[in-house]
Amino acid sequence: MEMKISEFEVKHFDRQSWEEVSERIVMQRLQETYTLVTPAITQMIQGKYAHTPHGIFRMKRESV
């Protein structure tokens, strides 16, 4: 059985570049920001960004 691991990136407001971030951190930040986390995750899967007070999060890609 193959598992797909999603990779996430964050762009902090004081920086210009994206950096990899763990799924755990992304979920914590989304939970702190959004009442419902699932719609934000769905948008990220569709290639959109999730804006939080900590920065902008996006899904980098799926790897096998």
Nearest-5° angle of CA 35, CA 36, CA 40? 115
Cα distance between residue 4 and residue 53, in whole Å: 28
Query: pTM to 2 decimals?
Result: 0.79
47-60 average pLDDT score: 94
Residue 64 has pLDDT above 80, yes or no: no
Cα distance between residue 50 and residue 25, in whole Å: 13
pLDDT digits (tens, 9 = 90+) for 17-46: 999 999 999 999 999 999 999 999 999 999
Above pLDDT 70, what percent of the chain? Answer: 84
With residue 31 as reference, give the H or E element that holds it.
helix 23-33
Residue 57: CB atoms within 10 A of its CB come to 24
Q: What is the pLDDT, as a whole number, of residue 61? A: 65
Q: What is the pLDDT, as a whole number, of residue 60? A: 84
- φ, ψ at 16 (rounded to 5°): -100, -20
